Amino acid sequence: MKTTLLHVRRLAVAAALLGVVFSPRVVSAQSDLDASEAEAFLGDWIVSVESDFGAFDVNLKIEDQGGKVAASVALPEQGVVEVTDITRSGDDLVLSYELDTQGQLISVSVTLEPDGEDLIVEFDFGGQFFMDGSAVRAGS
């Protein structure tokens, strides 16, 4: 009886470990910044940018995930980039992430400055290339 109970326990432990290893994981892309520090920035934004390559729009989503700020940037031809490095600099919100362009990782910093109901947006691509734009809330 003791031997059977020991085998059942081992089997239960093995099944639990396999469940942990092979279960799908929910990965939440969020920063350490409290959502209360970024309330004015929360929501869906459309960022309009003028560049040497022409005008284009970028979709920006900033949300509260469990009390922390999470953001994603939908870039043309790049897809959605999850941003986890989100900080405050005075009144501004700064999003930092790495962008893979043709196998090269480029550090990107996006500064969002409040401008009434809208935002002034500055992109810094590794200190080598800069773009300015503005953002309005999606649906406005």
Ramachandran class of 21: left when φ > 0, alpha when ψ lies in -120 to 50, beta otherwise: alpha
DSSP reduced 3-state for 127: coil
Domain residue ranges of the chain, discontinuous segments joined by + = 35-137
**Coil/strand/helix, residue 4:** helix
pLDDT truncated to tens, each residue of the chain (140 aa)?
A: 555 443 334 433 323 222 222 222 233 456 889 999 999 999 999 999 988 878 989 999 999 999 999 999 997 777 898 998 999 999 999 999 998 878 889 999 999 999 999 999 999 999 998 999 999 999 86
The yes/no answer on whether domain 35-137 falls in CATH 2.40.128 is yes
Q: Are residues 21 and 37 in contact, defined by beta-carbon separation less than 8 angstroms?
A: no
pTM summary value: 0.75
Alpha carbon 74 to its chain centroid, in Å, reads 10
